[in-house]
Structure 1
Amino acid sequence: MSRLSKGPMTGVDRVEFAYLEQFLRLDTLCLGLVRTAPGFLLLDRPAMIALRDGTLDLTRNDLIGRIAWRRDPARGRAEAALRRLAIARCTKRRLARLLKRHLPPGSSYFNTGHANLDDRSLAQIHAAGLKIAVLVHDTIPLDHPEFARPDTVEPFRRKMQVVASHADLVIHTTQATRAETEAQLARLGRVPEGITANLGVHVAHPIATDTPTQPYFVTLGTIEPRKNHVLLLNLWAQMPNPPGLLILGGRGWSNHEVFARLNTLPDDSPIQERAGLTDGQIAFLLQGAQGLLFPSFAEGFGIPALEAASLGTPVVVSDLAVFQELLGEFAVYLELADSYSWMETISRLATVGITKRATKTPPNWAEHFKLVLSRM
């Protein structure tokens, strides 16, 4: 709900949307729980379908929405639309009572993002008799606080404390992230039962868009320090006749140096920054690229690399355990400190023409849900 009218979906958004689609396919009772400013809303199947299909009436606000979200009218209108459709609502203190009234014994609660990990809420969900499953995407803010906004590290630690205290099952997306997450949970006092289920990766049908006239590479993801765009900008500044570089993704946070460099690029620069593209346009650009460059310092999963691999596009990544696990022999792994190897690899791929490899079949959602639902 919080992402309505906010542009293209993020990686976490896609996971939440996949869960919504999956649960709407089930024959069993399925309800949606939405946290709003004054409390919780309970959605039935028709309301959840409207949320999934984007058919909510987002033109009207209400008094609560106008007061609670003065600085974010779009969020206010989204909450107002769901209040009009909700089958029940309650204050934050009465959540257990609401759930007992509408759910049969033995029900399960799935929390598929990090946004709603609140101690009081999960305690009430347990009090209502529900089992709690939490999908933890990664613990990068704790493992690598230097790549997180300073004001987010302690709140994230509190969220992981809630997971340690209340989760009956933690869903991990790779073995590599599971090891890191469970190490953090152990420090917080309890490691809940866990399961490893790779996220599904769906590659959109390519939709034609403008491409550079010369051979080009793509880097894909939010422009934030963890993604290490600095390495690529430095490499392109050193190459005498650099190929094209398309930087796909919106601008994030704490990256003023990179933003300043992008702002001063000349019109004829081989480096182009493009944001707001559709999934189909991104697939088209990936398909035509000499390779995907992904020099991240840390990753929880790495969907762009799997998307490129599924299109047969060469993938050059930092040497991270999560990439080794998911990509195997498909990718080229380079140390981030070895600028020479990055430059040599890029130069080689740029001069051999588009080198398509046998595509790598990415993980799929059917296998993910087969594993997850069998444990709840």
Structure 2
Amino acid sequence: MRFFFDARYIRTDFHDGISRYTAGLGSAVQRLAPDEVTFLVHDERQLAHLPEGAHWLLFQSNESPLEPIAALRLNKYRPDVLFSPLQTIGTAGRNYAAILTLHDLIYYRHRKPPTNLNPLLRLGWRLYHLTYWPQRWALNGADLVATVSHTSRREILEHRLTRNEVVVIPNAPQDLAALLPEKAASASPSATLRGRNLVYMGSFMPYKNVETLIHGMAQLPQHRLHLLSRIRDDRRRELEALIPQGAQVTFHNGVSDAEYARLLADDAILVTGSLDEGYGLPIAEALELGTPAVVSELEIFHEVAGPGAKYFSPTDPDAFAARVRELSHPDNYAATSTAGREHMRQYTWEHSARRLLREARELHASRSR
């Protein structure tokens, strides 16, 4: 099988969610089937995020105006199956099987486009998500549709976004433990209080609901809330004005992956009060590291975190504080940490790559009959 993997969504500056998914899944596929896989890239710097020695093809940018006719250009390379981690590659006129991916439906509810897109594409992104019919047209151009969670699969089927089968190729956390020094220099946790550091990794868009976390800190004087991501100055001033007197809140304004790992490993609890979410990768990353979580009551969070988290109503700061205090008991902390790590065993890039290759080979076999 000549399996083409679209790796053009890998960013060369820093990973976003799609970039990390592409690099993680692509690397695992290469390890399992090195002689079958060819990666599509539009910038040779993207190869730094793929295994050394991988076969690759320099192709047009995913932002090219020729993207709608990409299949006509790919036909001459004679792929048997193409997998794309998004659904925007053109499929009209293709002579091969195609698997397209829709990660979630978050942009239909919150239409702010990714900031790395050029202005024209950002406008197109907003228009694309005004109605479901462009999505249906794109997904029906494939033979198979992939998504990253059972929650997203349910939503895709509920909105009848495709007539094709929808399969789950889960996201997986990066190995943050590999970024820690052999002997991390953190203070010994208290015998009576765990999770003194509350770590939030995510944007500060309104639906992320960081306000509930900050309000809840009024009842958590022994804990410090770490807000890790980059933040605009005006948004920071808005949130700083909400900090209760005596509460400990630190704005980091961006951290490296290594610093992120160190903070999560330093007697921490991962926290989020999001009102809506597409997946929740920081939760998976924390649980994989053994750091339990306190998260808002969302279907997708229950799927990602399972018993590795405590849940609260996202509009209730008192409930947030209560769940943190509950989890801060050493016995509860240890039990939830263990349960979270066990839950995360099902989310590995190798597991996802095996599922993707199995689906690709079945498609290839069906077209060869």
TM-score normalised over the length of structure 2 = 0.72
Q: What amino acid is aligned across from residue 181 of structure 1 in structure 2?
A: I
Distance change (3 Å), C-alpha of 1:211 and 1:346: same
State whether structure 2 residue 145 is matched by structure 1 residue 145. no
The one-letter amino acid of 2:94's match is A
Judge conservation of contact 1:308–1:315 (CA < 8 Å) in 2: yes
Q: What is the aligned partner in structure 1 of residue 171 from structure 2?
A: 199
The equivalent of 2:128 in structure 1 is 155
On the 8 A contact 1:315/1:332 being kept in 2, the answer is: yes
- Judged with a 3 Å threshold, the aligned counterparts in structure 2 of structure 1 residues 311 and 27 are, in CA distance, closer, same or farther, namely closer
1:321 aligns with 2:302: no
RMSD between superposed Cα atoms in Å? 3.9
**1:102 equivalenced with 2:77 (yes/no):** yes
CA contact (8 A) 2:220 2:321 kept: no
Q: Structure 2 CA distance, aligned partners of 1:240 and 1:200?
A: 32
2:201 is the counterpart of 1:220 = yes
1:301–1:192: structure 2 CA closer, same or farther, 3 Å change rule?
Answer: same
Q: For each residue in 1:255-314, what CA deviation from the matched residue of structure 2 results, as whole angstroms up to 9, or x when unmatched?
A: 955553249979x97211224423232122112234111211122221211222223222
The answer to whether the 8 Å contact 2:213/2:272 transfers is no
C-alpha deviation, 1:108, in angstroms: 1.3
| Unaligned residue ranges in structure 1 (runs of 5+) | 35-40, 55-81
**What displacement does 1:364 show?**
0.5
Structure 1 residues 309 and 353, CA gap change in structure 2 (3 angstroms): same
Can you list the C-alpha shifts for 1:79-134, whole angstroms capped at 9, x where unaligned?
xxx9xx84899982864443222225xx11111035xx15xx221xxx13121111
Tell me, in whole angstroms, the C-alpha distance in 1 between the residues paired with 2:36 and 2:349: 21
Change (3 A) 1:296 1:5: same
Conserved in 1, the CA contact under 8 Å of 2:197 and 2:224?
Answer: yes
Give 3-state SS (helix, strand or coil) of 1:235's partner.
helix
Q: CA deviation at 1:325?
A: 2.2
Q: Which residue of 2 aligns with 1:309?
A: 287
Q: 1:137 to 1:345 in 2, by over 3 A?
A: same
Matched-pair contact (CA < 8 Å) for 1:290–1:354:
no
Task: Specify the code of the residue in structure 2 equivalent to 1:18.
Answer: G
Q: Provide the residue aligned with 1:14 in structure 2.
A: 20
Task: Measure the CA separation in 2 of the matches of 1:336 and 1:284.
Answer: 27
Q: Name 1:128's counterpart in structure 2.
A: 94
1:27 matched to 2:73: no
Q: 1:111 aligns to what?
A: 84
Check whether the contact 2:199–2:228 (CA below 8 A) recurs between aligned residues: yes
CA distance in 2, matches of 1:318, 1:96: 42
State how far apart, in whole Å, the 2-side matches of 1:313 and 1:50 are: 29
Residue 221 of structure 2 aligns to a residue whose secondary structure is: coil
Q: Distance in 2 between matches of 1:328 and 1:23?
A: 27
> 124, 141, 144: which one pairs with 1:169?
144
Secondary structure of residue in 1 paired with 2:231: coil
Indicate which of 225, 239, 246 corresponds to 1:245. 225
Determine which of 259, 265, 271 is the counterpart of 1:281: 259
User: What is the CA-CA distance between 1:177 and the residue it aligns to?
Assistant: 1.2
Question: Counterparts in 2 of 1:249-268, with a 5 A limit?
Answer: 249-251=229-231, 257=235, 260-262=238-240
The letter for the 1-side match of 2:196 is: P
| Mapped partners of 1:374, 1:113: distance in 2 | 19
3-state secondary structure, aligned to 2:99: strand
What is the CA-CA distance between 1:349 and the residue it aligns to? 4.4
Aligned in 2, Cα 1:47/1:304: closer, same or farther, shift over 3 Å? closer
Tell me the CA shift for residue 164 of structure 1. Answer: 3.1
Q: Secondary structure at the match of 1:109?
A: strand
State the 1:324 CA deviation. Answer: 1.8
Return the structure number with greater relative CO, CA threshold 8 A, min gap 6: 2
Deviation of the 1:330 alpha carbon: 2.4
Task: Give 2:351's aligned residue.
Answer: 367
- How far apart are the structure 2 equivalents of 1:263 and 1:5? 36
Counterpart check, 1:182 vs 2:182: no
Counterpart of 1:233 in structure 2 is 214
Output the CA distance in 2 between the equivalents of 1:111 and 1:296: 28
Distance in structure 2 (CA, Å) of the matches to 1:246 and 1:48? 32
Aligned partner of 2:110: which letter? P
Q: How many corresponding residue pairs?
A: 321
Q: Distance in 2 between matches of 1:4 and 1:175?
A: 27
Q: For structure 2, which runs of at least 5 residues remain unmatched after alignment?
A: 1-7, 115-121, 189-194, 361-369
SS of corresponding position for 2:199: strand
